[in-house]
Structure 1
Amino acid sequence: MSAFTLPGFDLDAFVSATLAEDLGEGLPGGGHDVTAESVIAPDTRFSGVMDSRDAVVVAGLPIAEAFFRRLDPDMTIEILAEEGAMAAAGTALMRLAGNARAMLTAERCALNTVQHLSGIATMTRQYVEATGGKAVLLDTRKTIPGLRHLEKYATRMGGAQNHRMGLWDAAMIKDNHVLVAGGVGEAVRRAREAGVERIICEVDRLDQIEPALAAGANHLLLDNMAPAMLREAVALIAGRVPIEASGGVTLQTIGAIAATGVDYVSVGRLTQSAPAADIGLDFTPL
């Protein structure tokens, strides 16, 4: 089986939970694939090909493999595309041969995962290309609960970098934190005095920049600023800390935003709104 590991992600637990959900384990009458068991003889064997129906950036094939191998450890599986590669429409991504019931039972879990992650990777690549190489694309915490590590993996396959992984690896001071603390400078000061090393501070006005920097912010997030204001903010910050632009970024606007001189552009829709990639799986009896 292909080696696939992500820090903080338990592949075995994910496969178990996903299959259990689809099979209805623990529910009255659940725990099995009614259709496959009633229609397909136990010793029937299939071959199959997973392929892209549209051009996609590939992500998630090793996870799909894990679903199939869970139900048929002896299944022959050949992964034909590298993670993060661009695959043209009609490209074969995976070939497999083994027990037909196992293939049919695992099919939807495997396809859902690859379609979702490849959809994220494909949209991410579009945004990366739209920056024109002038800024680094970041993802956000706008992920489906339970899928963050996989979705952020998919953005990396598309060419983005991960923003903070969660609430634990950086302080991100936003408007509500500022409201409670009484000001940008006070909020940053409290984080600094608490010993936080990485302090990201969101500002939506130019007059918030100096108080945030003076208090010790080491990354500024410029929220919902138009390109003209972003350029002015970049000039005021003058390279003292990394600068991130965020808020309402689309494929049509990211080029102009990246051209203002910011270091990063973060886009929530990469994980929040990416459509599933059109990837199919066709079987042939052996």
Structure 2
Amino acid sequence: MALDEDLGSVNRRDVTTQATISPSVRGTADLVAREDGTVAGLSAVRETLTQVCEIFDLAPVQVEHLVVDGERVRAGQVLAHLTGPVQALLVAERTMLNIASRASGVATAARAWTDVLDTVVRPDGSRARVLDTRKTTPGLRALDKYAVRCGGGTNKRMGLYDVAMIKDNHVVAAGSVAAAVASVRERFPEVAVQVEADTQAQAVEAVEAGADFLLLDNMDDDALRATVEAVRALEASRGRVELEATGNLSLERAASVAATGVDYMSVGALTHSAPILDLALDLRA
């Protein structure tokens, strides 16, 4: 789909490259990081080149990766050597850079959160983890969530189909938290049930209604700490409940939130606001 945006879905051509470079001309290009970060999406390089070569009936491009997804890189570092028809290198350039730069930007953002959370070890030895959300680029959710994992983060639900998440509008429509939870259990007994809570009282209500996972929304550190303690006190009779802080989170606040005892922090900005990691393709003279 990305190649069709560049080449046109009907003609599939690069009028500049095809007019100026013979299909027989071969060369080598380096994939280079222009800034520090964590890389992800490198498989897009090989896949894009493979598809371009198929479209234009060109000889294959050899790809030598020098790093792997999830690796930290420095500005100026060469990530891969690409050798083959120059037409293929130039036609594929923007598509593969767009995908890999996007994924690497998400991975870099996730790594920043992971680095902070790794410094906060609670008395029981646990650490909070950063979660992504569904605030992903349409059509690129699998890539975005993969990139979060490359940065050390954890995936939350993939979509509306795999986990039930009862939020305020669902509660209004169902009549109560208990009614909403009961309806999900009856209709889709195999899925985990998550419930959003704005207060300690709502969190306790959700646990008593049978929630497996709570989203503690827009609470300050004191409210989070008190809610965590209240929920943990109920676990002896009903089992473990996973707790996530969400809303009004920042890297500056991450350590103090982690210290409250929550299991996770969900950060939509990982995928909806992460800047790309600047990657470039340098053709050797």
Normalised by the size of structure 2, how large is the TM-score?
0.90
1:69-114 deviations in Å (ceiling 9; x for gaps):
2223521110110110111221110101111111100000010111
Partner of residue 209 from structure 2, selected from 215, 224, 235: 215
SS at 1:192 equivalent: helix
Partner of residue 2 from structure 2, selected from 4, 11, 18: 18
Paired position in structure 1 for 2:272:
272
Paired position in structure 1 for 2:153:
160
Paired position in structure 1 for 2:141:
148
Q: Does 1:115 align with 2:101?
A: yes
SS at 1:125 equivalent: helix
Paired position in structure 2 for 1:178:
171
Which runs of no fewer than 5 residues in structure 2 stay unpaired? 54-58, 121-126
In structure 2, what is the Cα distance between the partners aligned to 1:175 and 1:213? 16
Q: Does 1:241 align with 2:241?
A: yes
In structure 1, what is the Cα distance between the partners aligned to 2:275 and 2:161? 29
Say whether the 8 Å CA contact 1:143–1:151 is kept in structure 2.
Answer: yes
Say whether the 8 Å CA contact 1:84–1:121 is kept in structure 2.
Answer: yes
In structure 1, what is the Cα distance between the partners aligned to 2:31 and 2:71? 15
In structure 1, what is the Cα distance between the partners aligned to 2:177 and 2:256? 27
Q: Displacement, 1:210? A: 2.3
SS at 2:89 equivalent: helix
Moved more, 187-196 or 216-225: 187-196
Paired position in structure 2 for 1:39:
20
1:107-165 deviations in Å (ceiling 9; x for gaps):
00010111000000001000111223430111111001100000000000000110011
SS at 1:252 equivalent: helix
Q: Displacement, 1:180? A: 0.7
Q: Does 1:106 align with 2:97?
A: no
Q: Displacement, 1:57? A: 0.5
Say whether the 8 Å CA contact 1:171–1:196 is kept in structure 2.
Answer: no
SS at 1:253 equivalent: helix
Q: Does 1:80 align with 2:80?
A: no
Moved more, 266-275 or 61-70: 61-70
In structure 2, what is the Cα distance between the partners aligned to 1:192 and 1:121? 35
Which runs of no fewer than 5 residues in structure 1 stay unpaired? 1-16
In structure 2, what is the Cα distance between the partners aligned to 1:193 and 1:31? 51
In structure 1, what is the Cα distance between the partners aligned to 2:186 and 2:51? 49
SS at 1:249 equivalent: coil
In structure 1, what is the Cα distance between the partners aligned to 2:46 and 2:248? 37
Say whether the 8 Å CA contact 2:162–2:191 is kept in structure 1.
Answer: no
Paired position in structure 1 for 2:80:
94
Moved more, 69-78 or 260-269: 69-78
In structure 1, what is the Cα distance between the partners aligned to 2:212 and 2:41? 34
In structure 2, what is the Cα distance between the partners aligned to 1:154 and 1:124? 8
Paired position in structure 2 for 1:64:
45
SS at 1:137 equivalent: strand
One-letter amino acid matched to 1:260: T
Q: Displacement, 1:214? A: 1.6
One-letter amino acid matched to 2:263: D
In structure 2, what is the Cα distance between the partners aligned to 1:136 and 1:41? 51
Q: Displacement, 1:284? A: 2.0
In structure 1, what is the Cα distance between the partners aligned to 2:252 and 2:23? 53
User: How many aligned positions are there?
Assistant: 266
In structure 2, what is the Cα distance between the partners aligned to 1:20 and 1:225? 45
In structure 2, what is the Cα distance between the partners aligned to 1:84 and 1:66? 18
Q: Does 1:204 align with 2:198?
A: yes
Normalised by the size of structure 1, how large is the TM-score?
0.90
Moved more, 147-156 or 53-62: 53-62
Q: Displacement, 1:196? A: 4.4
One-letter amino acid matched to 1:265: M
Q: Percent of pairs identical after alignment?
A: 43
In structure 2, what is the Cα distance between the partners aligned to 1:278 and 1:145? 21
In structure 1, what is the Cα distance between the partners aligned to 2:49 and 2:191? 43
